[in-house]
Chains A and B, each alone.
Chain A
Amino acid sequence: KAGVTQTPRYLIKTRGQQVTLSCSPISGHRSVSWYQQTPGQGLQFLFEYFSETQRNKGNFPGRFSGRQFSNSRSEMNVSTLELGDSALYLCASSPGTAHSNQPQHFGDGTRLSIL
């Protein structure tokens, strides 16, 4: 069974640009969660999508948005990029929602660098 696939693996952007990251969950998984990891803040929850609906959202500005398609693939978009958005962005999938007590399966992440 294929794991969680994130594309691209690496990305370099400049301030003010926007970026879209993609996450393909494990087949059959309906929940996709997104996380940001930085050296200073560690791992932080961005949002969770389940059956094309955003179920939960962390404390990030509106520049961070996402969506989920009918095949459960998810995209995350960050607009008006800032230097502080440089981070490893991870997605994780699970069969049910985050509070359905099911383990999450993580992708390898997209490393975003803002110049």
Chain B
Amino acid sequence: KNEVEQSPQNLTAQEGEFITINCSYSVGISALHWLQQHPGGGIVSLFMLSSGKKKHGRLIATINIQEKHSSLHITASHPRDSAVYICAVGGNQFYFGTGTSLTVIP
């Protein structure tokens, strides 16, 4: 049983496309995190959400606490957005989704 489900697993987009990655979770949480991992391993925290919506540049993250669902949107995608995006939910510990591997083609 996976506490966090992400979809899609893999995503290929043309430069400029609007991208959505989804995350559903089944545990009680205090916050949901969206992480970005580039080849080589380094992880960057993009967003931390406990309600509503956050925007940073071309990235938008939303969360619906009642439905236990979050989405990460990338507007006007660019090849440098190519990375693995991981959803993580935190309470007493962190549970991670399996990640979405995004490739943006020029």
Contact = CB atoms under 8 A, between A and B. Distances in A.
B94 A45 contact: yes
A89 to B, nearest CB: 10
Decide if the interface of chain B is mainly helix, strand, loop or mixed. Answer: strand
A35 B43 CA distance: 12
A90 B43 contact: yes
A98 B92 contact: yes
Contacts of B40: 108
A44 B96 contact: yes
A13 to B, nearest CB: 18
Nearest to A109: B41
B66 interface: no
A102 to B, nearest CB: 7
Given A42-B86, A43-B88, A99-B90, 15 more contacts: A37-B41, A43-B86, A43-B94, A45-B94, A45-B96, A48-B93, A56-B93, A90-B41, A99-B91, A105-B45, A106-B35, A106-B44, A106-B45, A108-B40, A108-B41
Interface of B: 30-31, 33, 35, 40-45, 48, 50, 86, 88, 90-99
